Structure 1
Amino acid sequence: MTIMRDKQWTAQVFINERGNDTHVRAVLTTQDGTTIEGTGHARRNPADPAVPEIGDELAVGRAFLDIGHRLVALAGIDIEEAQSIGQ
């Protein structure tokens, strides 16, 4: 029987707003110290009302999507390496 253990990864989100633009850098750190960074950007249409939370949500969401894509790619590399070791 395999014993499962809980793991904890942490994320830091850095939001920079300039005018109508919101830029985000998100950093995910795994329990073993590996870091994966993602970026996101949102731009408010000048005709739209200024609601900074919307830009934050979009840019942060896009940064986490970027991290997700990077994690999937990293897992693919790890799978290939594990398969080559097992042969």
Structure 2
Amino acid sequence: MNTLVGWHVEMEFEEVGSRTRAAAMVRLSDGTEFRAHGTANRHPSDPDQLRVGEEIAGARALMDLASQLLQKAHKEIDEVSGRTSHAIR
């Protein structure tokens, strides 16, 4: 039995001066939504590369989303198993 499940992920970026901000949102198949933010700051001596700032800020926002998803999964495991689960890294 195969089940196809998808998540909807949105990323938005804003650059103001030397700072890039990313806002991320993931919507899971159960309707749960998680939101996260990430920032990147360009050093004054670095060249102006918007794409690099987006990549760094976006990666930081996605890392935050990943952490939130792990917390949700462990909470659900704990509720079903009656014990405390631990992340394997």
TM-score by length of 2: 0.87
5 Å matches for 1:15-34? Answer: 15-34=13-32
The answer to whether residue 10 in structure 2 is matched with residue 5 in structure 1 is no
How many residues get paired?
Answer: 82
- The unaligned stretches of length 5 or more in structure 2 are 83-89
SS in 1 for 2:11: strand
Distance in structure 1 (CA, Å) of the matches to 2:78 and 2:2: 24
Asked which structure has the greater CA Rg, the reply is 1
Distance in structure 2 (CA, Å) of the matches to 1:69 and 1:38: 10
- Which structure is higher in helix share? 1
Distance in structure 1 (CA, Å) of the matches to 2:30 and 2:71: 18
What is the CA-CA distance between 1:19 and the residue it aligns to? Answer: 0.4
SS in 2 for 1:23: strand
- The unaligned stretches of length 5 or more in structure 1 are none
SS in 2 for 1:47: coil
The answer to whether residue 23 in structure 2 is matched with residue 39 in structure 1 is no
SS in 2 for 1:7: coil
Q: Which runs of 4+ in 1 moved over 4 A?
A: none
5 Å matches for 1:37-76? Answer: 37-76=35-74
1:83 alignment partner AA:
S
What is the CA-CA distance between 1:36 and the residue it aligns to? Answer: 1.1
